[in-house]
Structure 1
Amino acid sequence: METLLNSGVTGSPQVSKGGKLMMITSISYFIIQGPAFFLSGETDAEVSAGESGFALAGLITCTVLFAGYLFYQWELSRTDSDQVFEDYMEEVRREKIMNGEISLLGVMQAELRFAATRQSTEEGYQSMDGGNLALPEIVMRRLEKLLRPFFDKYDDDNSGQLDRGEFWSVFHDLQEHVQTSELNAIFEKIDTDQSDQIDFDEFVTGVAKFVLEKSPTGTISSPPPAAIDEAADDGDSEEHEEMPEDLAHLKPEEQQYHVKMRAAYLMTVGTALVLIFSDPMVDVLGVLGDRTGISSFYISFVLAPLASNASELIAAFNYSLKKTSRTIVISFAALQGAACMNNTFCLGVFMFLIYFRNLAWEFSAETVTILLVQVAMAVLSLRNTFRVVDGVMVLSLYPLSLMVVAGLEACGWD
């Protein structure tokens, strides 16, 4: 009992913001469900005729909210004001490097191009040893966060120092296979006291020098990049592969190009698979219910959601396994984002079918239950601390929602 009440994780303002966004995007349900309570007719055709205008309004609202949500996410990608987004991108970059999918320079070239659009005419550049090369402050902050785990990995005695050999090993982990003579030159420049040991600040300075010297013309002048693709599964405890042969010897900007093309290819293939198998999956679920005698209600609201939303659940679960406050917040934000997508894009597709196929809205019980669950989660999101007992309550919402839907339908609701 003490564990249930006194153990938990700390939330963040971003989680509260995500809960509010979830409620804002849910207003499309009210546009169709409100009139559906009062519209009636002898046939479904009469009901659908009365609901047609509201379905169109709901479709337009979903489209506007979806576009607004995408714009909001795009704005977050251009700033460092959202800590959850920054933490998520940091995890992506680090895992891509550790899995050998891209090098440090490949990641930092994207950062340099990103910074060029924001700070090329602003303050925030740092000088290094009086030289002409400098990184924008925002890039330095991100570089420090990115490098910290690699530094700590070889700082076995927690002294905050790395020797020359450990410095080389870190560079190898960063997928930068640099000549020993070049690494020695970098090390000697930053080891100002000639102790053959460097601290974290000196290490970051050395890596920053390396990044700038290897960037095209040593300047920042390229257009902003697209976001790096979806994070890989957690593999911190596994042996990591070397950089793929087709990317290992490419220039950083070419690595970025191939990573983006590979991401676009995988997204295209994934979309094609969904289009090919979604209709057969619906048929299979229908036949499964007929042959087993299981009610279509349980097929539609138990099996189908588990199949369609499994990716979000698995991704959030993998992040939460790291058991840090940062990754827990990322998990919460990912699930809230999935809810916002369901409230906008998925509901918009549904509204499209309702309007253009002249269908009647007969989902009052399900809609009310969805809204009740989202309200409960939004209220919970406003809290600063989430205890274990809160997790138990959230977990109970799923079976409770099924019971509410079944009860409302038993009372004659659509």
Structure 2
Amino acid sequence: MGPVSLDVARKPWEKWVDGEVDRSMWAWTKALMLLVLGITMLALLAEPLIHSVQNVSNSATIPSFFVSFILVPLATNARAAVTAIQTASQRKERTTSLTFSEIYDGVFMNNVLGFSVLLAVVYFRGLVWHFTAELLVVFIVCIVMGTAAGFRSKFPVWTSIASYLLYPLSLIFVYVFADFQ
């Protein structure tokens, strides 16, 4: 047996053909089917999650804004954050760069997926839209993160600080922009 090559950039679900990701029509179809399945699951489970967040908020006498925008994101992303910190602690340039890339990817994908589900719920249920400030902030964060991750393959340390500062800054933006509505 020859030497085993481990590529840190490879994700477990990617199929490699001659050193490249499988971009066949079946791979695209499978990806779209999984995306639709995920959006459907989110749409079906959104209401129970909302009720659970409201119940936790009422039981703990914590404002629902704090639970929704601080505790829930921390809880859902805690495992990824711990893994990212452990990987970055190896102090290798390549693994640290890939860790930051995963963080940027997670921020971008969470916002885009969350926004698409929210828009679908608003549209299909005929709800009134009162989220202009929040939408603007999500859009700003997505543009900043997408631009940062789209043009670089290696990330200096200052980009991680900037990305972490976008979270409290986005909460401040929501507060400020909400006054203009």
Name the TM-score, length of structure 1 as normaliser: 0.31
Match in the other structure for 1:306: 74
Q: CA RMSD for the aligned pairs?
A: 3.6
Measured at CA, do residues 276 and 320 of structure 1 come closer, stay the same or move farther in structure 2, by a change above 3 Å? Answer: farther
Does the 8 Å CA contact 2:133/2:174 hold for their aligned counterparts?
Answer: yes
Confirm whether residue 399 of structure 1 aligns to residue 168 of structure 2: yes
- Shift of residue 358, structure 1, vs aligned partner: 0.9
Match of 2:9 among 85, 88, 102: 88
Match of 1:319 in 2: 87
Structure 1: stretches of 5+ with no match in the other structure: 1-85, 93-109, 116-137, 139-225, 227-273
Q: Distance in 1 between matches of 2:82 and 2:46?
A: 20
Q: Are residue 366 (structure 1) and residue 113 (structure 2) matched?
A: no
Query: Paired residue for 2:110?
Result: 342
1:386 aligns with 2:161: no
Q: Count matched residues.
A: 153
Letter in 1 for 2:89: L
Q: Deviations over 1:121-159 (max 9, x none)?
A: xxxxxxxxxxxxxxxxx6xxxxxxxxxxxxxxxxxxxxx
**Greater relative CO (CA pairs within 8 A, separation 6+):** 1
What's 2:124 paired with?
A: 356
Determine helix, strand or coil for the equivalent of 2:9: helix
Equivalent residue for 1:377, pick from 125, 141, 145: 145
SS of the equivalent of 1:407 reads helix
- Conserved? CA contact 2:87–2:95, under 8 Å: yes
Residue 353 of structure 1, CA deviation = 1.1
Match of 2:57 in 1: 289
CA distance 1:396–1:363, shift in 2 (3 Å): same
- The alpha carbon displacement at 1:346 in A equals 3.2
Alpha-carbon distance in 2 for matches of 1:372, 1:403: 13
SS at match of 1:309: helix
Secondary structure of the corresponding residue to residue 87 of structure 1? coil
- Aligned letter for 2:156? F
Determine which structure has more spread, i.e. the larger CA radius of gyration: 1
Pick closer, same or farther for the CA change 1:346–1:276 going to 2, 3 Å. closer
Relative to structure 1, is the Cα distance of residues 385 and 357 closer, same or farther in structure 2, using a 3 angstrom cutoff?
Answer: closer
8 A contact 2:107–2:145 mirrored in 1: no
Matched to 1:284, the amino acid is S
Give the ranges of 4+ consecutive aligned residues of structure 1 lying more than 6 Å apart after TM superposition: 274-278
Deviation at 1:324, TM superposition (A): 1.0
Task: Provide, for residues 147-194 of structure 1, a one-character-per-residue CA deviation record: whole Å limited to 9, x for no partner.
Answer: xxxxxxxxxxxxxxxxxxxxxxxxxxxxxxxxxxxxxxxxxxxxxxxx
Q: Contact 1:312–1:338 at 8 Å: present in 2 too? A: no
Matched residue type, 1:331 = T
Aligned residue in 2 for 1:333: 101
- Give the Cα separation in 1 of the matches to 2:44 and 2:129: 27
- Measured against aligned partners, the alpha-carbon deviations of 1:231-280 in whole angstroms (never above 9, x if no partner) come to xxxxxxxxxxxxxxxxxxxxxxxxxxxxxxxxxxxxxxxxxxx8998755
Contact in 2 for aligned 1:312/1:334 (Cα 8 Å): no
For the residues of structure 2 that align with 1:301 and 1:290, how far apart are their CA atoms? 15
Question: 1:256-295, aligned counterparts within 5 Å?
Answer: 280-295=48-63
Listed as ranges, the matches of 1:159-170 within 5 Å are: none
Q: SS state of the match for residue 377, structure 1?
A: helix
Alignment check: 8 A CA contact 1:320 1:327 kept: yes
Deviations 1:362-393 (A, max 9, x none): 21111111222233334544466523x44333
Change (3 A) 1:346 1:395: closer
Structure 1 residues 299 and 343, CA gap change in structure 2 (3 angstroms): closer
Percent identity over the alignment is 26
Matched residue of 1:395: which SS? helix
Distance 1:391 1:299, change over 3 A: same
1:26-41 equivalent positions in 2, closer than 5 A: none
